Structure 1
Amino acid sequence: MSAKPLKKAVLPVAGLGTRFLPATKSMPKEMLTVVDRPLIQYAVDEARAAGIEQFCMVSGRGKTALIDHFDVSYELEATLRERGKLEALEQLHRDRLQPGSISTVRQQEPMGLGHAIWCARTFIGDDPFAILLPDDLVLSDTPCMTQLAQAYKETEGSVVAVVEVPRDQTNRYGILKTGHDDGKLVEVTGLVEKPKPEVAPSNLSIIGRYVLMPEVIGHLSKMERGAGNEVQLTDAMAKMIGHSPFHGLRFEGERFDCGDKVGFLEAQIAFSLSRPDLAPEVRAFLKKYTG
């Protein structure tokens, strides 16, 4: 029996973005731009490239700009048309989502990533679903979620994107306990949220890209608190192991933590240099400032 098609994605976007204050005082952190596109647009584009058609944003108060971004802006489009800026107009049309393809739910209390995913339980239903954290930006030839979707088809089970982190940083991430490892796809035999370096089962860390089976919602529904006294997605995923296939994927590409100021600035440079229209001038001014 083949796996169900992957058509749904959950985007947890309820965070306050306090590390980027005052920029995020009146603007959602997911609307911060890397080059000329907001983080939320990168996440949605990556999901669409993987064949995903339905989106649920788990949001909070003051985040309506995220939905407005994907709405039709009649006045702007009319102005662009009148001024002959057809290339910009076409870009807006490409970015637009199909009517009815995006919904939102409120995470009324900040109870952790697991709680945010649980809030989307009605949207998820009985279907496999992707999770994309917009803070994590991946630069790659093949979009990271496309790679995960292919691994899901092959394994017919849950798959998470993983990277190796320094051993002394395991207490910042969800860490894998590993089984068979072919160098790309690694069997997950256990998961630990933010373990101390001396007891971490490996240095393979989950980043903000997941494909999960809907059974995870049943575990999240118990509202068990973990690290930080929050409902941890990692803890719920750990309970799925052994009942259905679960793998980590060493994806091809470079991940940037855009929830961190240095990571955000590094992403600006990397994505600028990946653009043929910008790379020559960016290299020139980098030389100016770096010698």
Structure 2
Amino acid sequence: MKPVKTAVFPVGGQGTRFLPATKAVPKELLPVVDRPLLQYAVDEALAAGIERMVFVTARGKGALEEYFDVAGELVASLKAKGKTAELAVLDATQLAPGQIAYVRQQEPAGLGHAVWCARHIVGDDAFAVLLPDELLWSPAAPALAEMHDAYKTLGGNIISVLEVPEAHTSRYGIVTPGHVDGKITEVLGLVEKPAAGTAPSRLAVIGRYILQPEVMTILSAGKRGAGNEIQLTDAMADLIGVQPFHALTFTGTRFDCGDKAGHITANIALALEREDVGPAVRAWLRTQAI
């Protein structure tokens, strides 16, 4: 299979759950310890061999472009002070010229619409989609890298899934499963946010996709689904039976950072893994009556 080289990041949401912070700071730049959420997703894409990042932004998201730009004055100041460690931190966030493209989603019409906005940059090649709100933590085996490896063998479309409690299935796109081979599940159907008690399984789609370009043609019809939005899940469902379609079960730790509790949990969990801040955080936790 031809390797996937382009990734789409839908980052146009308003982040209303995190007001008032997101009045001035895009939710994708909220930190988990000391790195923005978006940086974790970009690093995951790089680990999978992605070469071109497409950010689908919206009005008021200019800080996203600033973050990935060269901070000339800051770099000059750090160099003058001989702060090599801090310079190395900045270098690790720097992408090559031309490696990022930005497009605007001019109305909040759903995830499918956001992905469709990148159609001219994606072109006729398979592409990845990463939702930065979903922090999939697995440093030894990054989620998208495992998906890309599976894609090279299976082709078609690959989505990342995780088994969720029955009571939570109405919050997600849910897979109708077919043949299972280890972590790979054949996808026979997809339903977006099924009503309680109607879900075909507990396998929930969790924000990582490798898709064929034909999904853009389906999205172009502008068909509205759940929430009167253009749903990516509905468009993907139309590819089932036409192209190979599989789900890869994620075995790392998932943090839903679109939720306040999930974001706080991610900060604590990742801080505990760090040698520089972990001991202090662990010591504080021991003093709490939890």
TM class, shorter-chain normalised?
over 0.9
Tell me by how many angstroms 1:197 deviates.
Answer: 2.7
- For 1:160 and 1:16, the matched residues in 2 are separated by 25
Q: Name the amino acid aligned to 2:86.
A: A
| Pair 1:251 & 2:266 matched | no
Could you tell me which residue of structure 1 aligns to residue 26 of structure 2?
28
Tell me by how many angstroms 1:183 deviates.
Answer: 3.3
- For 2:65 and 2:147, the matched residues in 1 are separated by 26
- For 1:153 and 1:279, the matched residues in 2 are separated by 38
Deviations 1:28-68 (A, max 9, x none): 11010000000111111110111101011100001011011
RMSD: 1.0
Q: Name the amino acid aligned to 1:120.
A: A
Could you tell me which residue of structure 2 aligns to residue 7 of structure 1?
5
- For 1:290 and 1:89, the matched residues in 2 are separated by 40
Aligned-partner SS, 1:181: strand
Could you tell me which residue of structure 1 aligns to residue 39 of structure 2?
41
Deviations 1:126-160 (A, max 9, x none): 11111111100011121111111111112112111
Q: Name the amino acid aligned to 2:103.
A: V
Matched ranges for 1:173-188 at <5 A:
173-188=172-187
Q: Name the amino acid aligned to 1:122.
A: H
Could you tell me which residue of structure 1 aligns to residue 107 of structure 2?
109
Could you tell me which residue of structure 2 aligns to residue 234 of structure 1?
233
- For 2:182 and 2:289, the matched residues in 1 are separated by 37
Could you tell me which residue of structure 1 aligns to residue 264 of structure 2?
265
Could you tell me which residue of structure 1 aligns to residue 91 of structure 2?
93
Deviations 1:223-272 (A, max 9, x none): 00000010000000000011111111112200000000000000001111
Could you tell me which residue of structure 2 aligns to residue 159 of structure 1?
158
| Pair 1:289 & 2:288 matched | yes
- For 2:54 and 2:270, the matched residues in 1 are separated by 26
* Among 42, 52, 69, the residue aligned to 2:67: 69
Tell me by how many angstroms 1:198 deviates.
Answer: 1.6
Alignment coverage as a number of residue pairs: 289
Q: Name the amino acid aligned to 1:16.
A: Q
- For 1:214 and 1:91, the matched residues in 2 are separated by 36
Matched ranges for 1:181-200 at <5 A:
181-200=180-199
Tell me by how many angstroms 1:281 deviates.
Answer: 1.7
Aligned-partner SS, 2:92: helix
- For 1:153 and 1:197, the matched residues in 2 are separated by 36
- For 2:92 and 2:107, the matched residues in 1 are separated by 34
- For 1:279 and 1:168, the matched residues in 2 are separated by 34
Could you tell me which residue of structure 1 aligns to residue 279 of structure 2?
280
Could you tell me which residue of structure 2 aligns to residue 58 of structure 1?
56
| Pair 1:212 & 2:214 matched | no
TM-score, scaled to structure 2: 0.98
Which shows bigger deviation, 8-17 or 166-175? Answer: 166-175
Could you tell me which residue of structure 1 aligns to residue 17 of structure 2?
19
Aligned-partner SS, 2:153: helix
| Pair 1:169 & 2:168 matched | yes
Q: Name the amino acid aligned to 2:210.
A: V
- For 1:22 and 1:75, the matched residues in 2 are separated by 29
**Mind listing any 5+ residue stretches in structure 1 that lack a counterpart?**
none
- For 1:196 and 1:182, the matched residues in 2 are separated by 28
* Among 125, 128, 131, the residue aligned to 1:130: 128
- For 2:236 and 2:21, the matched residues in 1 are separated by 34
- For 2:182 and 2:109, the matched residues in 1 are separated by 35
TM-score, scaled to structure 1: 0.97
- For 2:18 and 2:38, the matched residues in 1 are separated by 16
Q: Which runs of 4+ in 1 moved over 3 A?
A: none
Aligned-partner SS, 1:285: helix
- For 1:88 and 1:127, the matched residues in 2 are separated by 38
